[in-house]
Structure 1
């Protein structure tokens, strides 16, 4: 049964009017990069709660959550309104199997996400494991507008630290953006644009992680299966590991 830790909001960082990072301090606990917890708020005598992936690495002091405000939602507008010093609850233990331990060996690791689905990848990339296991790491980050691209300073730090090993490709669907591709991830794969932009083959030597919009995951999974990259299962290892983010 889940237990709840008392947390204190340390920072509510706005990336734009709707997208924000909530930084929370709790007593230390263990988790694996890629896992999630539930955040809880007391309201009218009951606990409102929702699952969010941990963006921070397991060894860091503050918990970090990337959240998009849904105006007609019950929970995210309340998170959006929290200020430093606000009380929030964090569930224990952390859960989920969207971790690198579930990913078989490969030459390249493709981390593909839409929107806030990028969050667990940052947690993974701040650990030694991906850099030790894969010769090439490609981070693919799809959003609607350029202003939706969060954590760019962190991404730039990976580029500087691992210039030969790490590549970043933003995708912005609703406006032109320098350095970004335009369109949907599945279409860009089907046309070969994504592979050309990253100068890396997307074949049986690759391991792919998909996180975010269920439609993107559904279409990308089907396309990758047709390309000879089946879904990764414990009973039958493959090339594509998925996490439905909403």
Structure 2
């Protein structure tokens, strides 16, 4: 549809970043390291920006076909917001990653689409990139899902911060945990990650090494489709509601000294609708917010701050 000269011209017009490297968990789950042409601005771990590629770029053969892409539309960028992740530590020696990496890491799964889902614009193109290729990165970083929300317990020696993520919802937690460790946080840090297969745990090896260096850090993994778990699935909600998580960390979660950060599947989080000041909980299995509110915790509503914070991924 466009000749090579037109494609090069569009890339020069729109792209402002370079793919500095990729760490692959498997074929459809990558950690993208992106170096922008502009100075990386100050922002908070947990916040997000956008990545983009031109619709003129090739797409992964395994993705659902696009429809209605004419010569006008093909000149546009396909963009999507992504929370900034973090390498956390050197996977070889477990040494905490330094400040000022010069790049930003994004934890992304390829979405193929198909069926009733619209063909995804971005990830089928992202997963054809190689180191050194160009792309677009937004210069604005935003979001309220940050460690500022736990300021009231940060000074407490018995503070407990629990991160619970599903799939790539672990991404922002990696950056937040790195900041806590790098700043010398003395409280307890626990990260729960629920995925389908063990191969989806892209950061597990890093955290296992970190656990040996930081006695206040623990990493808890749940899988739902492995042979030994497929018929006895334990989701984050089950792990917390059953008391197994508290047994594993050796203490109870107390609203006076504990904050929870939840990111990923809306069913795990369980955000209620607010009607007339009342919470209407989702039907079916309780989400973590409802489980914790029944134990005296409070959902963070922005102006009315609480100790259970959430970020939906879709």
Q: Which of 1, 14, 33 is residue 23 of structure 1 equivalent to? A: 33
Point out the structure with the larger strand share: 1
Where does residue 126 of structure 1 map in the other structure? 178
Cα distance change of structure 1 residues 228 and 128 upon mapping to structure 2, 3 Å threshold: closer
C-alpha separation in 2, matches of 1:5 and 1:156: 37
Mapped contact 1:211–1:245 kept (Cα < 8 A):
yes
Mapped contact 2:15–2:134 kept (Cα < 8 A):
no
C-alpha separation in 1, matches of 2:131 and 2:246: 43
Post-superposition offset of 1:28: 2.4
5 Å-filtered alignment, 1:49-198, equals 49-56=79-86, 59-72=100-113, 73-106=120-153, 107-128=159-180, 132-133=184-185, 135-163=187-215, 165-175=216-226, 182-198=233-249
Mapped contact 1:109–1:206 kept (Cα < 8 A):
yes
The number of residue pairs the alignment matches comes to 240
Post-superposition offset of 1:224: 1.0
Mapped contact 1:103–1:241 kept (Cα < 8 A):
no
C-alpha separation in 2, matches of 1:152 and 1:28: 30
TM-score by length of 1: 0.89
Report the aligned-residue RMSD. 2.2
TM-score by length of 2: 0.71
Consecutive unaligned residues in structure 2, runs of 5 or more: 1-13, 56-73, 89-98, 114-119, 154-158, 271-286
CA deviation digits over 1:161-210, x for unaligned, max 9? 212x11111111122679xx951111221111111122221221311000
Larger Rg: 2
Post-superposition offset of 1:7: 0.6
Cα distance change of structure 1 residues 15 and 108 upon mapping to structure 2, 3 Å threshold: same
CA deviation digits over 1:102-160, x for unaligned, max 9? 22433200011000000111111222478645511101111111110012233134213
SS in 2 for 1:170: strand
SS in 2 for 1:15: strand
Tell whether 2:297 aligns with 1:229. yes
